[in-house]
Chain A
Amino acid sequence: MLSHIAKLIWNRKRSNLLIITEVAITFGVLFAVIYLGIYNYKVFNTPLGFEWKNTWNIRIDTGGRWNNETDKVQLKAIAEVLRTRPEIKSADVIMMPLFVNGRWRSVETINGHRAPYKANMLNHEAPKNLGVELVSGRWFGPQDDGQNYQGVMVNQRFVDEFLDSVEPVGFEFSDPGQPEAKPKRIVGIFKDFRQQGEFSTPGPYMFFRYNWEQGDSFGLRNIMLKFDKPQPASYEKDLHQTLKQIAPSWEFNIQSFKNLRQQRINEIVIPMTVMAVVVAFLLIMVAMGLFGVLWQNINRRIQEIGLRRAIGASENSIRLQIIGELIVLAIFGMAAASIFIIQVPLLNLIEAVTWGNFVVSMLLSISAMLLIVIICALYPSHSATKLSPAVALHYE
């Protein structure tokens, strides 16, 4: 029977090409949808590496460029006043705030790798206060002042990607573009810090330490306040007054991370939902096309089905044969599509595509595709075998 099916498929290669093409297109769309679904699900469920609950952000607008000499003093004064308030557990500063689209990107050559990473600058108590987890080494701190290196911290992904062959803690590297700068030394490794929130692509990350005395020429414009318990919305006004008393010329925008996080999620989920609806329609269209082609294929063969039954095929053997043929065609179609799909991880066309997700998506897509083909074939082949052989033989 298998060689019979092979012969039929080969001899009907022209009309089968249509089915193979239709399967290949459906499979491509299916794979993309499943891959994106898995990727986003996994990314969303990857730990952020920090705690955002009961934490608020104060965004500072100095009304002009950062004047480091005076502004660093004012920033420190604000932080010190806030720290004295009983409901505030900690007040820290950070350059790129959490849950917003802005980020600091950098590329260096590290340990022979081209090493793109994201970075941030915060005071040395900030990571601990935010619940960042230390994996090895130590937190950076005042003991790094006045040394012949600049103490930095990196996340575990940074180590995994760029420092696979060396002992990461104590590793030093320098930027050939800035020969007069001190080399950076990794003093500690933290688990993760996904500054831009749940949907951001996890990747290498580096902390630079903000030194209250030196300040920074770009300036830090975000203060993060951690409370011992949730604060009412009215607290914002009270806080605003306090801030204005210390720095009357600055403007402040106060928001809880709870809100910022929700805004960030909405920014991504809303367009993603729209896209999902569009893709769902696309998938339905493609699947309907496939159903049409399979239906037509089976319809054209009703006389053949009648003949087979007249010479002794049972209904079951007919259905098995049709489904068997279509599964073989589906495998060809999926193989054809896979030749293109596999180029993505092979050539590293999209950075975020990993082999693990790729294989899982592939397996899921194949199962879904086979299921679609079987379901699409089941109904027409069932109705075709329900005709009496005499009627099927004269079917036009």
Chain B
Amino acid sequence: MLTLNSIAKTYQTDKIETIALKEINLNIKKGEFISIMGPSGCGKSTLLNIMGLLDAPSDGSVSIDGVEISSYQDKGLASIRNEKIGFIFQSFHLIQDLRVIDNVELPLLYRKISAKQRRHLALQALEKVGLKARVDHFPSQLSGGQQQRVAIARAIVGKPELLLADEPTGNLDSHMGNEIMQILESLHKDDNTTIVMVTHDDELAKRTERVVRVYDGQLIH
């Protein structure tokens, strides 16, 4: 469902040019659960951001469902991000001034959906991550693991086909990390969601179907 075709990414900051990725070819099939591993700074996040259309590659092409995304303008990209992709970040990125339920509803605000339907879907997503009792809390009133579960609920509320998780357990202890992993596994099994997860944890990586290793901006096979 997602194909990366000789992707390269260089960051240009003032005088320094950082090559974050070079010649990446990767094909992700529908329903796969993939983990990406590699040392810090090797380009994992950059890779995930390009897959999630959060950043444009310097070279190469990204196709989703056979359509090259460079053919889309901002509006088209926004609706692909909104409908096909869910993102989970290491640092949760919840909006602190919104209650749990409003954070989860957020992606649906950018769709034509009634307020009632939004609430219904958000409650459903929160139920999946086991947080139905916390809908009216603010993020600051929750533990890290709970916050990440809210973020997962937000990522899945729009029923995306592809879930991208950038070190989703990186800020959590192993117990909470395991909980998050179990949620991802059940999303994969029950809903056939395609998942790409960046992780440092070998144990977690082993539980996925395929491990992709990145070293110095390149894939190693």
Contact = CB atoms under 8 A, between A and B. Distances in A.
Contact of A390 (B55, B95, B110, B115): B55
Among A8, A11, A309, A310, residue most surrounded by chain B Cβ atoms (within 10 Å):
A310
Given A8-B98, A11-B98, A311-B81, A317 B54 contact: no
B74 interface: yes
A312 B79 contact: yes
Interface stretch (B82-90, B126-134, B198-206): B82-90
Contacts of B54: 309-310, 388-390, 393
Interface stretch (B101-109, B170-178, B208-216): B101-109
A65 interface: no
Contacts of A265: none
A22 to B, nearest CB: 20
Contact of B55 (A3, A303, A313, A391): A391
Interface residues of A, number: 26
Contacts of A12: 97
A311 B106 contact: yes
Q: Which secondary structure dominates where chain A touches chain B? A: helix
Interface in A266-323: 303-304, 306-317
A391 B97 CA distance: 22
A299 to B, nearest CB: 16
Which size class do B's interface residues fall under? 20 to 34
A141 to B, nearest CB: 80
A316 B83 contact: no
Contacts, number: 71
Interface of A: 1, 3-4, 7-8, 11-12, 303-304, 306-317, 388-391, 393
Contact of A307 (B49, B79, B95): B95
A388 B81 contact: no
Q: Which secondary structure dominates where chain B touches chain A? A: helix
Given A303-B93, A389-B54, A391-B55, A309 B98 contact: no
A310 B81 contact: yes
19 contacts: A3-B115, A4-B109, A7-B98, A7-B102, A8-B98, A306-B93, A308-B106, A309-B78, A310-B54, A310-B93, A312-B81, A312-B83, A312-B111, A313-B78, A315-B78, A388-B55, A388-B56, A390-B46, A390-B55
Contact of A393 (B89, B102, B109): B89
A314 to B, nearest CB: 4
A63 B46 CA distance: 96
Nearest to A385: B74
